[in-house]
Amino acid sequence: MSDGGSNDIPDLGPLPTRIAVDVDQVRRLVASQFPHWADLPVERVANGGWDNCTFHLGPGMSVRLPSAWEYTQAVDKEHTWLPVLAPRLPLPIPTPLARGEPGEGYPYPWSVYRWLDGETARVDRIADPVRFALDLAEFIVALQAVDAADGPRPGQHNWYRGGTLRTYDGQAGRGLIALDGRVDVDLASEIWKCALDAPWDGTERWFHGDIAPGNLLLGNGQLAAIIDFGTCGVGDPSGDLAVAWTLLTADGRRVLRERLSVDDATWARGRGWALWKTLVNYANAPDESEAAAISRRILDEIFAEYTTGGRSKGLPG
């Protein structure tokens, strides 16, 4: 049994230094490399992501440009694997249409995708939380059923998602120090330790790597598409369970777990992924910001679920 990694824990290092990209630069890139699209309007997408700068190209396409060198490996990975995954999944995912090269002062490869309509998921936008959870579970079931034999394993291309949670132990520890006095640090530490100690059986499966509200698109309040596969890969898929605490209701969480037949150890690791991400986000959020309020809500979900049932499960005997 394994916790998903080797004895050599990767060093994530500091956050990448991001570069700015503007509309005029994107317009020049498109015109110089894809002249048949040169007359299409270019518009920046609000809240277009952190790893990439995203722009709307005409009525039916998007342009995504890595915001730092560290994110560029996802370009070739998505062009290779999204066409393989798409026909096996029950919901639309991005379709790569063209691969751009450095130019016009922009130093990295970039992509043009087919545009997917929808509004990003939010608790108050979901029409039926249980139906939403079940639709998401069906997507994860289908994704995990894709042959993982040749898929991309955890590495720098996806910040070691699908590997051991211990990769993120330093970040979680710094978050706990920063939040001391603002959250129940003792309880959070117990939950984190439970996640670190929960074993993985070593069966590699496909995972998305960042099933988060911003990557889930809604149509009429229902799950309509899933985007941004930059952190996808094969390995321990428990990270895709983090959404159970970050977005789902208690009933939705139950439905997701039942449909995926998740065992206690996998559930504990999924809880750990949710905790790590929330600690980091909360530690970096101003006290009265919306981000801080969202983080507090998620921590309340994690703490309540763990203390009412998870505390007695998922810990090695």
Spatial contact of 97 and 63, defined as CB atoms under 8 Å apart: no
Q: Which residues contact 91 (CB under 8 A, 6 or more apart)?
A: 135, 139, 223, 224, 225, 226
| Residue among 116, 133, 4 nearest 60 (CA) | 116
What pLDDT, on a 0 to 100 scale, did the predictor assign at position 312? 63
Question: Which tokens hold the place of 253?
Answer: 């969480």
- How far is Cα 303 from Cα 281, in angstroms, rounded to an integer? 17
Spatial contact of 252 and 220, defined as CB atoms under 8 Å apart: no
Q: Tally Cβ neighbours within 10 Å of residue 190.
A: 15
What pLDDT, on a 0 to 100 scale, did the predictor assign at position 309? 83
The half-sphere exposure of 313 on its side-chain side, counting CA atoms within 13 A, is: 15
- The three-state DSSP-derived secondary structure of the chain is CECCCCCCCCCCCCCCCCCCCCHHHHHHHHHHHCHHHCCCCEEECCCCCCCEEEEEECCCEEEEEECCHHHCHHHHHHHHHHHHHHHHCCCCCCCEEEEECCECCECCCEEEEECCCCEECCHHHCCCHHHHHHHHHHHHHHHHHCCCCCCCCCCHHHCCCCCCHHHHHHHHHHHHHHCECCECHHHHHHHHHHHHHCCECCCCEEECCCCCHHHEEEECCEEEEECCCCCCEEECHHHHHHHHHHCCCHHHHHHHHHHHCCCHHHHHHHHHHHHHHHHHHHHCCCCCCHHHHHHHHHHHHHHHHHHHCHHHCCCCC
Phi-psi region of 9 (alpha: psi -120 to 50; beta: other; left: phi over 0): beta
**Model pTM score:** 0.94
What pLDDT, on a 0 to 100 scale, did the predictor assign at position 111? 98
pLDDT by residue (tens digit) across 73-120?
999 999 999 999 999 999 999 999 999 999 999 999 999 999 999 999
pLDDT by residue (tens digit) across 275-313?
999 999 999 999 999 999 999 999 999 999 999 987 766
Residues of the chain with pLDDT under 50: 1-2, 4-7, 314, 316-317
Beta bridge partners of 43: 56
Amino acid type, 308? T
The half-sphere exposure of 35 on its side-chain side, counting CA atoms within 13 A, is: 1
Domains of the chain (ranges plus CATH)?
23-115 (3.30.200.20), 120-312 (3.90.1200.10)
